[in-house]
C-alpha cells in the first residue's frame, strides 16, 4: 500500500495550513520536507503538530508520519468525518490559527462538526474568535453554507502566555458551495465591535472604546462597541485586553480588524532582557485599531486583507461556475493562497486591477468541488 | 422506449386493449413509471407500415433523457483518431516498451482543465502529458445555402473515420489527395509528400516506375545529403528525442532511397514523402539558426507553438498577411514558394517566425517579472513603465521581422494597459503562461523524459511552474504561517480631517452618488479595458476598426448604466429562450404522445415538470452568467481559467501506455478517454444501495467477484452484502435478497455519492440469461467498512457454585475475557447470566496441583439461577466482517477484442473447473436427534423445610419392601354364578359397542348427503349474486358515462 502512494513533494513549513487544507480537499497526499532544517530549533512547531493532530481527529483513516527530527512529514488525507470532538490547541498559536483551516474542512465533512477548542482565544497574530463570529461565518453564508448549525460560542477567553480560553464551534455540512458574484462593496453603514479584558480592570475596555469612537465619530454615528469583561473562570489564565471591530456595509460586506494585548510568551520574551515588557496602553490600542479599520475600509474590496485567502479558497471550491470578487490590495497571504490553489486544484484566477478605486477584481471558475464524503440519505 | 409488435394477432378488440394495458403496466413496473411504449399495428405484405416506422423514428429522435450528472460533470472524449508517437528508435530497441500515444477528439461533458487525470476505458488512469486545442476538422457548414454537396465540400465525421482530407499533427498538416490528382509536377508532389503514413493513405496503389520515383525525389531535395545529415546532426542535440531521431532516420531513409532506387519497391514513394518531411524539418532548423537561437529545446517549443497558433488563427487573415510579407527575406521567399505549392504547409513555417519573436518577448517578460516579482503592487506602475520600453524594443524588433506594419504602433498604449493587467497575474502565478501553452510543458516533459524516464511522470504537475518562481518563494520557505496581514504602515493619521475626508465617501454619511459613481467607473473601466483589448486583438489579426472603437469607449462610459441594464436583460432573455426551447420540445413530444397513446402519459410528466423546469431555468441562467463573465477575457487567459471548452477538438498526448493498447487497437471499437475529478483517483470502500436485477435469475453470493461499471471505470471487485438493522447496524447477508434492496460494500476507486452502478458477472457475449446482474447507487464512501455478522460463543461449565459458575471453552485467553466483561450470556434452558471476570487460579482452576500450567480462558459468570453441569452456555456477539481490498480494472483494450476478458473466478466456477466437491462440514448435517430419557435424581426436601410442612405434605418414610404385598400377591377365584355374571356383562358391553359403531356410520352418510346438497345450493346462489353485481356495475357505468357526456357537452 505504502509504496504506490505518490506524494506531492513540498518544501518548507510556510503555508502549512493551506497545504493541509488543499491536500485534504483535493485528496492529494503530500510530503513536506526541509522544515526549518537549518534553524536552531529544527522541525515542526508545537502548533503545527497540534494542527496535524486536529486534522487526524476530525478525519477518518488519514495518515500522518513525522520523522524523528520533525523536519519532514508525510500526510495522506482521509475522509472528513465531523461529529463531536474536543481539541487542545496548545499555547503557541491562538485558536484562530486552527479555525481557518477547520471551517473549510468541516464544510466538506460527512457529518456536521461540533468541536470544543481550548487554548488562546485572542492574540495579535491570528484573527480572534470575535472576528470569526462576526465576519468569517457570515462570509460562509454567502457561499451557501446553511445558517442553522453555523455557530461559534465563546465559553471563556484566554490570552497568551497561558491561555485558558475555550470555544465551541458548530459547523454544518454542504453539498456544494455556490458561486458568488460579489463585487459591490457598498458603503459602511455601521460599525460594531467587542472590547474585552481578562484579569484586568474593566476600565481598560472603556478606555479602548472611548479612543476608538473618537476616531469614528467624525465619519459615522452608528458605532456601537460592547464591552465584555471576563472574570474568574471565564477569564482564562493570563491578564490581557483587546478589541475587535467590524464595519458592515450597505451591501452586506463585513470588514474587520482585531488585536489583543498581553504579555509575551516565554520563548518570545526570552530575547528581551526586561522582566516586564511595556504593554501598549488601552487608549493607544483603541486608536490604532480604529485607524487600522479605516485603513482596511480605505483599501476597498468586499473583505478585509485577513480574509482574502479564505475568500479565494471558497471561490476556488465552488462548482464549475464563475465567481467574481473584488478585494483591496492583494495581501501576501492571499497571493500565496492563489498560488497554492493553482497548484492543488488547478484553478487559476483572472486578476485585474481596477485603477480607479485601487482594488483588484478576481474571476475564477470553481474546481467543481462536491462534498464527496456526505452520506446519501 | 419499448416497441410492441404482433398486435395484429389479436382478433378481439377488447382483448387487444386488455393485453396492451397489461403489457404497459408490466413495462412500467420493469423499466420506469411513464416509460414510453410504441405499438406497431402489424405487417402488411411482410413489412411494417411506412407511416408507423416513420413515426417510430421520429419518436426515437425526439426522445428526452434525463441528463446524466456524471457526463455533465466530467470531461470526456470519444476518440476520433489514435496515433502511436513513440520514438521509433525505442520501439525498435524494445518492441514491448511503453508507448506514447496521442488521441484526438471532440471534448464533451464539461470543460477540461490542465492537470486533470484521465481514464482510458479498458486501459487505466494516466496523467495527460499534453493537451492542444485544434481547429474543428469538420466545421459546421456555412450559412449559405447550397444545392448539392460537391466532392470538395463534403463534411464527414465519424470516430476513426480519418476525418476527411485534413490531418493535424504537432509539426505538420497533412492533406489527403485522391490518386488521380497526383501528377508529375512539383506542386502535387509537395502535397502528396505530406500524406501521412500512419493512416494508410498511400498513393502507391499502382506501382510507380523507377524513373518517376527518382525524378520526384530529386525534385524535392533542396540540400545535398551531406547538408541534410549535418542539419539533422544539429537536431540530434535537441531535447525532444523523437523528432531528432526521426529526422536522422528520415535522412537515412532518403539516403537509402537514393541508393535503392534502381531496385524500386512500392515503398519508394512513401520514402520520398518522408524525405520531404525531413526537408521541412531541416528548413526549420535553418530558420532557427538564422534567428540565432541557440537552444534547440526552445526551438521545439517554437514549432509547437507555431502549430497551435496557426490553427487557432483564421487562415484567411494569415494568407493576407503572408501576401504582405512577401519578398521581405530570403528564407521567407523560399517559404513563399512553398506557400504557392501546399497551402497549409506554408502556414506552419510562417507561424514559426512570428511565434519565435513572441516567445522571446515572453522570455523578456519573464526577466522583468523576476525583477519586479518581490515588489508590491505599488511598483506596478514603474515596472509597467519599464515593460513599456521593452515592449517598444520588442516592437522594433518585430517591425524588423515583420516589416513596418503601422498598426502595431498604434496600439502601443493600449497594450501597456493590457500588460499591466496580465502582470498582476504574472506576479501571482510567477510565469508567462499566456503564450507558452501546454506544448511548452510538453517540451519540458519530454526533456525530463530523456533525462530520467522513470521520474518524469511521478512529478506533480505543479512542479514545473514551481521551478520558475523558485526565486520568489525560496526566501520564505519557512516563513510564518499567518493570514493576518499587518501593514500598519501608519503614514496616515486618521485623526486628521483631510485624511478622513479621503474615505468619507465610503461611509453612508458621505456622498452616495459619488460612491455609486466610483463603483460604476470601476465597472466602466473594466469594460473599457475589454474594449481596448478587443481592439488589440483586432489589430493583431489585421482588422481596422480601432478608431471607431475608441469613440465607442467614450460613449460607453456615458451609457454605462444602460449597458448594465441591457446586459441583465440580455441574460434573462437568453435564459428565457433556452427555457422556451426546452418547453417547446417537450410540449411537442407530449402532444405527439397524446395523439398516439392517449392522455394517460401526460399525467406523470406534469407532476415533476414544475421542479425540473425551475432547476433547468436556474442552471440556464447560471450558464449564461458564466458565459457573459468569461466572454470578455482573451483566449489565452480564458484557457488558463476555464480550461478547454466543450466542443473543442483536442489532441491529448498520453505517455507510457502499455504497448498492448497499440498492438490490439481496433478502430471498430470506440476508445473513450474520460476525465477524473478531484478525489476520484483515490481508492476506498464504497457503500451502494444494491438491487439484483429482476430479470437475472439467481441471487448473488457475498464475496463472489462481480464486475461493476461506475462512471468511466469498469473493474472487478468483491462485494459484501449487508442489510441495515433498525439500530443502524450493518448486518452481513450471505446472499442478496430476492426482491429487495440491500447494501453492498466494496473496495474500489472512489466516486461521488449518487453515482449509478451497473453490475455484471461475466463479460462474454454468448450468455443465455440476462446479462445485467444488478444495479446500484453509491451512497457514501468510507475508508473503513463496518459490517458485522453474528457470532455465537459456546462454553461449558467446569465448576458450579451456587449461582456462579466457571465456564470453560468459551474464550481462549484471559485477555479475551476482559474484552467481554459484562456481556450477557444464556444457557440452553433459558437461564440468563453475565460474564464477570477471568477465573482466579485457586478456585476452579487448579492445574498446578496436578503439575500443569494454569489454564487460561476460564470465565467466572453469574446466572439468575443455579445452572447444571449439563447446560451449555451461549454468548451472542457481533464480529466485524472484512471486506476484501480487491479491485481489478478491466483491461479489455489491452487484449484482442474478440477475446473475452477473464478476471477472478468465483469459487463455484473454480470448483466446477477442477471438479471439486463442495466441502461438507459434518457438524452442519442434519441427523435424527436421539434423546435419552432423562433420569432425574430423587427429590430431597431439606430437613428444616420438612419440619414446617403439614403432615400430609411431609414425605413419609416408608421402608421399601422386599416382597410384594398381600394384595398384589393374592389370586381371585370365581364361583359359577360369578362367572356367569361376568360373561353376561362382557356380552352386553360388546353389543353396545357394535350399536354405537353402526350409528356412527349412518351419521357419516347423512352428513355427506347434506353437504352435497348445500354445495349445490351455494353454487346457484353465487351465480345469482354475480349476475346481480354485474348488472349493478353495468348500470353504474352507464350512469357515469352519461354524466361524463353531459359534462363534456
Closest alpha carbon within chain A to B755: A376
pLDDT confidence of residue B586: 46
Of A14, A181, A294, the CB nearest to B479: A14
Of the two residues B775 and B167, the one the predictor is more confident about is B775
Size of interface A-B (CB pairs under 8 A): 249
Question: With contact defined as beta carbons under 8 Å apart, do B874 and B792 qualify?
Answer: yes
Burial per residue of B812-838, b for 16 or more beta-carbon CB atoms within 10 angstroms, e otherwise? eebeebeebeebebbbeeebebebeeb
Q: Where does the pLDDT of residue B963 fall: very low under 50, low under 70, confident under 90, or very high at 90 and above?
A: confident
The reply to whether residue A219 touches residue B507, judged by beta carbons under 8 angstroms, is yes
Closest alpha carbon within chain A to B464: A343
pLDDT confidence of residue A52: 92
Question: With contact defined as beta carbons under 8 Å apart, do A327 and A308 qualify?
Answer: yes
Contacts of A342 in chain B (CB under 8 A): 429, 462, 465
The reply to whether residue A355 touches residue B525, judged by beta carbons under 8 angstroms, is yes
pLDDT confidence of residue B587: 45
CA distance B271 to chain A (A): 44
| pLDDT, averaged across chain B | 69
- Retrieve residue A12's grid coordinates: 518548507
Any idea where the domains of chain A sit in the sequence? Answer: 1-80, 188-298, 303-365
Question: With contact defined as beta carbons under 8 Å apart, do B253 and B271 qualify?
Answer: yes
Closest alpha carbon within chain A to B72: A320
Model confidence pLDDT, tens digit, residues B510-528: 777 765 555 544 444 433 3
Please check whether residue A5 touches B, CB under 8 A.
no
Contacts of B508 in chain A (CB under 8 A): 187-189, 220, 250
Testing the interface with A: which of B115, B375, B462, B484 to mutate, by most A Cβ within 10 A? Answer: B484
Contacts of A78 in chain B (CB under 8 A): 783
Burial per residue of A9-35, b for 16 or more beta-carbon CB atoms within 10 angstroms, e otherwise? ebbbbbbbbbbbbbbbbbbbbbbbeeb
Of B477, B633, B642, the CB nearest to A34: B477
Of A126, A294, A308, the CB nearest to B482: A126
Cβ atoms < 10 Å from Cβ of B668: 7
Contacts of A352 in chain B (CB under 8 A): 421, 424, 526, 529
Please check whether residue B479 touches A, CB under 8 A.
yes
Of B111, B504, B509, the CB nearest to A320: B111
Model confidence pLDDT, tens digit, residues A290-324: 888 888 888 888 888 888 889 999 999 988 888 88
pLDDT confidence of residue A6: 79
Of the two residues B850 and B696, the one the predictor is more confident about is B696
Of the two residues B71 and B317, the one the predictor is more confident about is B71
Closest alpha carbon within chain A to B429: A339
pLDDT confidence of residue B220: 57
Of B116, B503, B508, the CB nearest to A294: B503
Which residues 79-98 on chain A approach chain B with CB closer than 8 angstroms? 79, 97
Most confident residue range from B119-133, B388-402, B408-422, B442-456: B119-133
- Retrieve residue B745's grid coordinates: 460494500
Query: Is pLDDT at A353 greater than 60 in this prediction?
Result: yes
Query: Is pLDDT at B732 greater than 90 in this prediction?
Result: yes
Give me the phi and psi of A329, to 5 degrees please: -60, 135
Q: Give the CA count within 13 Å in the CB-facing half-sphere of A108.
A: 25
pLDDT confidence of residue B734: 93
CA–CA distance, B865 with B873 (Å, rounded to integer): 13
Contacts of B780 in chain A (CB under 8 A): 110, 373-376
Cβ atoms < 10 Å from Cβ of B393: 12
Contacts of B688 in chain A (CB under 8 A): none
Does the CA dihedral B707-B710-B712-B718 come out positive or negative? negative
Q: What is the bridge-based pairing of β-strands B804-808 and B787-800?
A: antiparallel
pLDDT confidence of residue B12: 86
The reply to whether residue B487 touches residue A305, judged by beta carbons under 8 angstroms, is yes
Of the two residues A23 and B325, the one the predictor is more confident about is A23
Closest alpha carbon within chain A to B494: A291
Question: With contact defined as beta carbons under 8 Å apart, do B534 and B546 qualify?
Answer: no
- Rounded to two decimals, the ipTM of the complex is 0.84
The reply to whether residue A219 touches residue B641, judged by beta carbons under 8 angstroms, is no
CA distance A244 to chain B (A): 13
Of B247, B346, B244, B249, nearest to B296 by C-alpha is: B244
pLDDT confidence of residue B1044: 93
Q: Where does the pLDDT of residue B247 fall: very low under 50, low under 70, confident under 90, or very high at 90 and above?
A: very low
Which residues 139-168 on chain A approach chain B with CB closer than 8 angstroms? none
Of the two residues B682 and A54, the one the predictor is more confident about is A54
Q: What is the bridge-based pairing of β-strands B787-800 and B832-838?
A: unpaired
Question: With contact defined as beta carbons under 8 Å apart, do A30 and A75 qualify?
Answer: yes
Please check whether residue A333 touches B, CB under 8 A.
yes
Please check whether residue B416 touches A, CB under 8 A.
no
Name residue, grid cell 537536431: B235
The reply to whether residue B629 touches residue A322, judged by beta carbons under 8 angstroms, is yes
pLDDT confidence of residue A171: 92
The reply to whether residue B481 touches residue A306, judged by beta carbons under 8 angstroms, is no
pLDDT confidence of residue A38: 82
pLDDT confidence of residue B861: 92
CA distance A236 to chain B (A): 24
- Retrieve residue B360's grid coordinates: 522571446
Query: Is pLDDT at B749 greater than 60 in this prediction?
Result: yes
Cβ atoms < 10 Å from Cβ of B389: 10
Integer angstrom CA distances of residue B235 from B277, B302, B939: 14, 14, 111
B724 Cβ contact partners less than 8 Å away, ≥ 6 residues apart: B730, B731, B743
Query: Is pLDDT at B333 greater than 50 in this prediction?
Result: no
Testing the interface with A: which of B481, B486, B686 to mutate, by most A Cβ within 10 A? Answer: B481
Please check whether residue A350 touches B, CB under 8 A.
yes
Query: Is pLDDT at B835 greater than 70 in this prediction?
Result: yes
Please check whether residue B429 touches A, CB under 8 A.
yes
> What single DSSP character describes residue B411?
T
> What single DSSP character describes residue B722?
E
Contacts of A335 in chain B (CB under 8 A): 427-428
pLDDT confidence of residue B767: 79
Any idea where the domains of chain B sit in the sequence? Answer: 2-63, 293-436, 560-629, 1018-1049
Closest alpha carbon within chain A to B625: A322
pLDDT confidence of residue A235: 86
Most confident residue range from A127-141, B154-168, B955-969: A127-141
pLDDT confidence of residue B485: 65
The reply to whether residue A14 touches residue B477, judged by beta carbons under 8 angstroms, is yes
Of A110, A324, A335, the CB nearest to B629: A324
CA distance B437 to chain A (A): 14
CA–CA distance, B245 with B979 (Å, rounded to integer): 134
pLDDT confidence of residue B593: 40
Model confidence pLDDT, tens digit, residues B88-116: 888 888 888 888 998 888 898 888 887 78
Which residues 9-28 on chain A approach chain B with CB closer than 8 angstroms? 9, 11-18, 25-28
Model confidence pLDDT, tens digit, residues B602-659: 444 445 567 777 877 787 787 887 777 777 777 777 777 778 888 888 889 998 899 8
Query: Is pLDDT at B336 greater than 80 in this prediction?
Result: no
Q: For the residues A268-293, what does the mean pLDDT come to? A: 73
- E-strand ranges in A30-77 read 30-33, 59-60, 63-66, 73-76
pLDDT confidence of residue B211: 59
CA distance A152 to chain B (A): 20
B205 Cβ contact partners less than 8 Å away, ≥ 6 residues apart: B179
Which residues 265-324 on chain A approach chain B with CB closer than 8 angstroms? 287-288, 290-292, 294-295, 297-298, 300, 305-310, 320-322, 324
Integer angstrom CA distances of residue B132 from B113, B284, B717: 11, 21, 36
Please check whether residue A185 touches B, CB under 8 A.
yes
CA distance A47 to chain B (A): 11
Q: For the residues A247-272, what does the mean pLDDT come to? A: 79
CA distance A232 to chain B (A): 30
Contacts of B752 in chain A (CB under 8 A): 370, 372
Closest alpha carbon within chain A to B688: A376
Q: For the residues B565-577, what does the mean pLDDT come to? A: 68
pTM: 0.65
Contacts of B504 in chain A (CB under 8 A): 219
Q: For the residues A251-276, what does the mean pLDDT come to? A: 72
Above pLDDT 70, what percent of chain B? 57
pLDDT confidence of residue A225: 92
CA distance A308 to chain B (A): 8
- Retrieve residue B208's grid coordinates: 510507380
Model confidence pLDDT, tens digit, residues B972-1002: 888 999 999 999 999 999 999 999 999 999 9
CA–CA distance, B123 with B119 (Å, rounded to integer): 8
Least confident of A169-173, B583-587, B974-978: B583-587
Model confidence pLDDT, tens digit, residues B390-440: 444 444 444 444 444 444 444 554 555 455 555 777 777 765 443 333 333
Q: What share of chain B is helix, strand, coil (3-state, %, to 5)?
A: 50, 15, 35
Question: With contact defined as beta carbons under 8 Å apart, do A348 and B465 qualify?
Answer: no
What's the CATH superfamily of A188-298? RNA 3'-terminal phosphate cyclase, insert domain (3.30.360.20)
pLDDT confidence of residue B167: 59
Query: Is pLDDT at B942 greater than 70 in this prediction?
Result: yes
pLDDT confidence of residue B176: 64
Amino acid at each position: 500500500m505504502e509504496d504506490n502512494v505518490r506524494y506531492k513533494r513540498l518544501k518548507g513549513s510556510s503555508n502549512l495550513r493551506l497545504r493541509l487544507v488543499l491536500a485534504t480537499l483535493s485528496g492529494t497526499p503530500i510530503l513536506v520536507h526541509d522544515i526549518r532544517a537549518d534553524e536552531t530549533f529544527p522541525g515542526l512547531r508545537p502548533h503545527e503538530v497540534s494542527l496535524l493532530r486536529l486534522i487526524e481527529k476530525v478525519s477518518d483513516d488519514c495518515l500522518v508520519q513525522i520523522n524523528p527530527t520533525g523536519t519532514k512529514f508525510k500526510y495522506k488525507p482521509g475522509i472528513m468525518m465531523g461529529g463531536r470532538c474536543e481539541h487542545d490547541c496548545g499555547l503557541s498559536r491562538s485558536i484562530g490559527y486552527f479555525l481557518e483551516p477547520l471551517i473549510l474542512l468541516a464544510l466538506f465533512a460527512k457529518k456536521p462538526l461540533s468541536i470544543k477548542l481550548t487554548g488562546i482565544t485572542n492574540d495579535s497574530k491570528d484573527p480572534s474568535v470575535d472576528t470569526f463570529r462576526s465576519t468569517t461565518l457570515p462570509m460562509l453564508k454567502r457561499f451557501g453554507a446553511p445558517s442553522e448549525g453555523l455557530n461559534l460560542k465563546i465559553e471563556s477567553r484566554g490570552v497568551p502566555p497561558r491561555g485558558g480560553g475555550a470555544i465551541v464551534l458548530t459547523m454544518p455540512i454542504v453539498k456544494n458551495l455556490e458561486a458568488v458574484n460579489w463585487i459591490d462593496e457598498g458603503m459602511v453603514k455601521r460599525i460594531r465591535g467587542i472590547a474585552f479584558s481578562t484579569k484586568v480592570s474593566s476600565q481598560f475596555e472603556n478606555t479602548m472604546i472611548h479612543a476608538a469612537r473618537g476616531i469614528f465619530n467624525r465619519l459615522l454615528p452608528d458605532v456601537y462597541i460592547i464591552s465584555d469583561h471576563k472574570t474568574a473562570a471565564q477569564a482564562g489564565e493570563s491578564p490581557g485586553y483587546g478589541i475587535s471591530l467590524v464595519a458592515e456595509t450597505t451591501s452586506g460586506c463585513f470588514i474587520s480588524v482585531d488585536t489583543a494585548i498581553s504579555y509575551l510568551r516565554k520563548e518570545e520574551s526570552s530575547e528581551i532582557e526586561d522582566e516586564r515588557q511595556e504593554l501598549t496602553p488601552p487608549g493607544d490600542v483603541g486608536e490604532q485599531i480604529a485607524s487600522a479599520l479605516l485603513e482596511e475600509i480605505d483599501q476597498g474590496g468586499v473583505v478585509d486583507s485577513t480574509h482574502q485567502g479564505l475568500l479565494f479558497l471558497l471561490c476556488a471550491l465552488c462548482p464549475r461556475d464563475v465567481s467574481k470578487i473584488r478585494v483591496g490590495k492583494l495581501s501576501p497571504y492571499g497571493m500565496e493562497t492563489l498560488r497554492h490553489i493553482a497548484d492543488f486544484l488547478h484553478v487559476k484566477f483572472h486578476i485585474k486591477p481596477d485603477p480607479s478605486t485601487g482594488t483588484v477584481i478576481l474571476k475564477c471558475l470553481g474546481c467543481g468541488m462536491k462534498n464527496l464524503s456526505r452520506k446519501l440519505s | 422506449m419499448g416497441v410492441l409488435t404482433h398486435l395484429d394477432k389479436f382478433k378481439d378488440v377488447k382483448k387487444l386493449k386488455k393485453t396492451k394495458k397489461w403489457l404497459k403496466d408490466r413495462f412500467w413496473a420493469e423499466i420506469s413509471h411513464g416509460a414510453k411504449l410504441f405499438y406497431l399495428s402489424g405487417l402488411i405484405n411482410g413489412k411494417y407500415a411506412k407511416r408507423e416506422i416513420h413515426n417510430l423514428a421520429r419518436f426515437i429522435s425526439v426522445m428526452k433523457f434525463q441528463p446524466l450528472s456524471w457526463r455533465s460533470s466530467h470531461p470526456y472524449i470519444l476518440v476520433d483518431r489514435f496515433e502511436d508517437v513513440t520514438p521509433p528508435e525505442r520501439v525498435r530497441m524494445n518492441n514491448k516498451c511503453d508507448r506514447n500515444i496521442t488521441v484526438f477528439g471532440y471534448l464533451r461533458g464539461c470543460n477540461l482543465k490542465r492537470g486533470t487525470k484521465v481514464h482510458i476505458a479498458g486501459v487505466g488512469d494516466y496523467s495527460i502529458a499534453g493537451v492542444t486545442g485544434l481547429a474543428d476538422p469538420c466545421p459546421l457548414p456555412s450559412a449559405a445555402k447550397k444545392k448539392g454537396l460537391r466532392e470538395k465540400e463534403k463534411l464527414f465525421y465519424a470516430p476513426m473515420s480519418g476525418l476527411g482530407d485534413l490531418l493535424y499533427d504537432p509539426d505538420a498538416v497533412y492533406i489527403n489527395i485522391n490518386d488521380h490528382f497526383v501528377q508529375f509536377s512539383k506542386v502535387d508532389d509537395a502535397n502528396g509528400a505530406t500524406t501521412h503514413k500512419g493512416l494508410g493513405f498511400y498513393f502507391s496503389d499502382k506501382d510507380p516506375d523507377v524513373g518517376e520515383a527518382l525524378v520526384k525525389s530529386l525534385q524535392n531535395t533542396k540540400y545535398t545529403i551531406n547538408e541534410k545529415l549535418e542539419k539533422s546532426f544539429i537536431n540530434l542535440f535537441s531535447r525532444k528525442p523523437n523528432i531528432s531521431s526521426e529526422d536522422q532516420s528520415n535522412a537515412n531513409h532518403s539516403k537509402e532511397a537514393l541508393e535503392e532506387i534502381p531496385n524500386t519497391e512500392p515503398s519508394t514513394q512513401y520514402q520520398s514523402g518522408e524525405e520531404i518531411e525531413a526537408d521541412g524539418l531541416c528548413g526549420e532548423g535553418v530558420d532557427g539558426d538564422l534567428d540565432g537561437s541557440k537552444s534547440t529545446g526552445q526551438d521545439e517549443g517554437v514549432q509547437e507553438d507555431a502549430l497551435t497558433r496557426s490553427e487557432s488563427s483564421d487562415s484567411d487573415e494569415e494568407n493576407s498577411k503572408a501576401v504582405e510579407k512577401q519578398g521581405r527575406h530570403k528564407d521567407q521567399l523560399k517559404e513563399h514558394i512553398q506557400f504557392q505549392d501546399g497551402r497549409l504547409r506554408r502556414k506552419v513555417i510562417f507561424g514559426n517566425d512570428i511565434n519565435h519573436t513572441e516567445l522571446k518577448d515572453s522570455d523578456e517578460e519573464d526577466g522583468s517579472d523576476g525583477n519586479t516579482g518581490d515588489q508590491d503592487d505599488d511598483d506596478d506602475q514603474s515596472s509597467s513603465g519599464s515593460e513599456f520600453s521593452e515592449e517598444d524594443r520588442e516592437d522594433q524588433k518585430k517591425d524588423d521581422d515583420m516589416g513596418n506594419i503601422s498598426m502595431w504602433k498604434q496600439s502601443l498604449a493600449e497594450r501597456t494597459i493590457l500588460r499591466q493587467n496580465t502582470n498582476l497575474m504574472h506576479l501571482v502565478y510567477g510565469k508567462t503562461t499566456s503564450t507558452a501553452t501546454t506544448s511548452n510543458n510538453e517540451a519540458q516533459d519530454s526533456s525530463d523524459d530523456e533525462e530520467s524516464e522513470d521520474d518524469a511522470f511521478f512529478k506533480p504537475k505543479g512542479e514545473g511552474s514551481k521551478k520558475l518562481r523558485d526565486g520568489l518563494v525560496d526566501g520564505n520557505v519557512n516563513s510564518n504561517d499567518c493570514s493576518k496581514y499587518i501593514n500598519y504602515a501608519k503614514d496616515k493619521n486618521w485623526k486628521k480631517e483631510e485624511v478622513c475626508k479621503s474615505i468619507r465617501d465610503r461611509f453612508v454619511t458621505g456622498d452616495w452618488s459619488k460612491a455609486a459613481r466610483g463603483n460604476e467607473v470601476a465597472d466602466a473601466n473594466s469594460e473599457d479595458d475589454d474594449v481596448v483589448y478587443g481592439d488589440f486583438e483586432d489589430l493583431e489579426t489585421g482588422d481596422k476598426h480601432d478608431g471607431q472603437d475608441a469613440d465607442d469607449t467614450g460613449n460607453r462610459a456615458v451609457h454605462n448604466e444602460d449597458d448594465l441594464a441591457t446586459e441583465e436583460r440580455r441574460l434573462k432573455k437568453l435564459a428565457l429562450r433556452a427555457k422556451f426551447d426546452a418547453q417547446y420540445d417537450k410540449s411537442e413530444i407530449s402532444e405527439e404522445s397524446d395523439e398516439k397513446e392517449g392522455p394517460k402519459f401526460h399525467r406523470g410528466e406534469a407532476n415533476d415538470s414544475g421542479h425540473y423546469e425551475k432547476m433547468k431555468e436556474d442552471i440556464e441562467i447560471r450558464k449564461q452568467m458564466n458565459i457573459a463573465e468569461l466572454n470578455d477575457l482573451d483566449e489565452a487567459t480564458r484557457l488558463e481559467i476555464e480550461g478547454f471548452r466543450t466542443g473543442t477538438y483536442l489532441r491529448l498526448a498520453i505517455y507510457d501506455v502499455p504497448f498492448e493498447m497499440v498492438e490490439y487497437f481496433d478502430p471498430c471499437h470506440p476508445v473513450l478517454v474520460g476525465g477524473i475529478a478531484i478525489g476520484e483517483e483515490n481508492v476506498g470502500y464504497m457503500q451502494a444501495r444494491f438491487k439484483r436485477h429482476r430479470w437475472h435469475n439467481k441471487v448473488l453470493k457475498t464475496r463472489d467477484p462481480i464486475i461493476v461499471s461506475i462512471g468511466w471505470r469498469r473493474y472487478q471487485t468483491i462485494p459484501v452484502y449487508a442489510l441495515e438493522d433498525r439500530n443502524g447496524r450493518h448486518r452481513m447477508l450471505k446472499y442478496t435478497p430476492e426482491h429487495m434492496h440491500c447494501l453492498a460494500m466494496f473496495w474500489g476507486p472512489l466516486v461521488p455519492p449518487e453515482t449509478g452502478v451497473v453490475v455484471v458477472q461475466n463479460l462474454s457475449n454468448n450468455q443465455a440469461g440476462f446479462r445485467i446482474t444488478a444495479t446500484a447507487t453509491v451512497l457514501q464512501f468510507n475508508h473503513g467498512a463496518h459490517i458485522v455478522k453474528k457470532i455465537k460463543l459456546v462454553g461449558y461449565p467446569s465448576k458450579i457454585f451456587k449461582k456462579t459458575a466457571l465456564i470453560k471453552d468459551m474464550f481462549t485467553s484471559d485477555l479475551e475475557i476482559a474484552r467481554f466483561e459484562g456481556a450477557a450470556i444464556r444457557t440452553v434452558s433459558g437461564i440468563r447470566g453475565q460474564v464477570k471476570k477471568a477465573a482466579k487460579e485457586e478456585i476452579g482452576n487448579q492445574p498446578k496441583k496436578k503439575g500443569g500450567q494454569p489454564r487460561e480462558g476460564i470465565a467466572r459468570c453469574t446466572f439468575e439461577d443455579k445452572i447444571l453441569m449439563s447446560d451449555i452456555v451461549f454468548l451472542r456477539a457481533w464480529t466485524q466482517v472484512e471486506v476484501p481490498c480487491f479491485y481489478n480494472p478491466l483491461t479489455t483494450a489491452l487484449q484482442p477484442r474478440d477475446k473475452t476478458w477473464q478476471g477472478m473466478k468465483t469459487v463455484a466456477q473454480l470448483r466446477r473447473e477442477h471438479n471439486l466437491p463442495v466441502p461438507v462440514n459434518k457438524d452442519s448435517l442434519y441427523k435424527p436427534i436421539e434423546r435419552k430419557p432423562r433420569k432425574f435424581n430423587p427429590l430431597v426436601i431439606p430437613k428444616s423445610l420438612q419440619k414446617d410442612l403439614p403432615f400430609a405434605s411431609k414425605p413419609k418414610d416408608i421402608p421399601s419392601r422386599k416382597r410384594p404385598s398381600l394384595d398384589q400377591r393374592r389370586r381371585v377365584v370365581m364361583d359359577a354364578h360369578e362367572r356367569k355374571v361376568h360373561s353376561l356383562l362382557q356380552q352386553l358391553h360388546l353389543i353396545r359397542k357394535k350399536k354405537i359403531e353402526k350409528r356412527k356410520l349412518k351419521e357419516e352418510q347423512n352428513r355427506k348427503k347434506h353437504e352435497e346438497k348445500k354445495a349445490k345450493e351455494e353454487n346457484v346462489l353465487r351465480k345469482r349474486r354475480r349476475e346481480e353485481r354485474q348488472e349493478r356495475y353495468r348500470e353504474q357505468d352507464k350512469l357515469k358515462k352519461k354524466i361524463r357526456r353531459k359534462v363534456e357537452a
